[in-house]
Structure 1
Amino acid sequence: MDITDDKLLRIALVTSLIGLIGLIIFTPSIEVKEVKIKDITRAMIDEEVSIDCVVSDVKSSKSGSSYFLTINDGTGQMPLIIFESQIAQMQSNKLEIEDFKDKKVNVVGKITEYNNEMEIVLSSGDSLKIIS
Structure 2
Amino acid sequence: MNENTLLKCSLLFSILGILAILFISETSSIELSKISDLTKESIEEKVRIIGEIKTIGDSPGLIILNLEDDTGTITVMLFKNEEEIPLEKNQRVEVIGTITEYKDQLEIIADQIKVA
TM-score, length-normalised on structure 2? 0.75
User: What letter matches 2:45 in structure 1?
Assistant: E
Aligned positions of 1:1-132 closer than 5 A:
26-29=23-26, 30-61=28-59, 64-83=60-79, 87-91=80-84, 95-96=85-86, 99-123=87-111, 127-131=112-116
Gaps of 5+ in 2: 1-16
Q: Which amino acid aligns with 2:115?
A: I
One-letter amino acid of the structure 2 residue matched with residue 101 of structure 1: K
Measure, in 1, the Cα distance between the counterparts of 2:22 and 2:48.
Answer: 23
**1:36: how far off?**
0.4
How many corresponding residue pairs?
Answer: 98
Question: Compared with structure 1, are the counterparts of its residues 48 and 89 closer, same or farther at alpha carbon in structure 2 (3 Å cutoff)?
Answer: farther
2:93 alignment partner, SS class: strand
Q: CA deviation at 1:26?
A: 2.5
**Aligned alpha-carbon RMSD (Å):** 1.8
- DSSP-derived class of the 2:29 partner: coil
Q: Distance in 2 between matches of 1:101 and 1:25?
A: 37
* Greater helix fraction, Structure 1 or Structure 2: 1
Distance 1:57 1:28, change over 3 A: same
Distance 1:79 1:58 in 2: 10
Question: Match of 1:88, SS?
Answer: coil
Measured after TM superposition, the shift of residue 121 of structure 1 is: 0.5
**Runs (4+) of structure 1 moved beyond 2 Å?**
21-26
Q: Any idea what SS the aligned residue of 2:83 has?
A: helix
Kindly provide the amino acid, as one letter, of the partner of residue 102 in structure 1. Answer: N
Q: Given that residues 33 and 48 in structure 1 are in contact (C-alpha distance below 8 angstroms), is that contact kept between their aligned partners in structure 2?
A: no
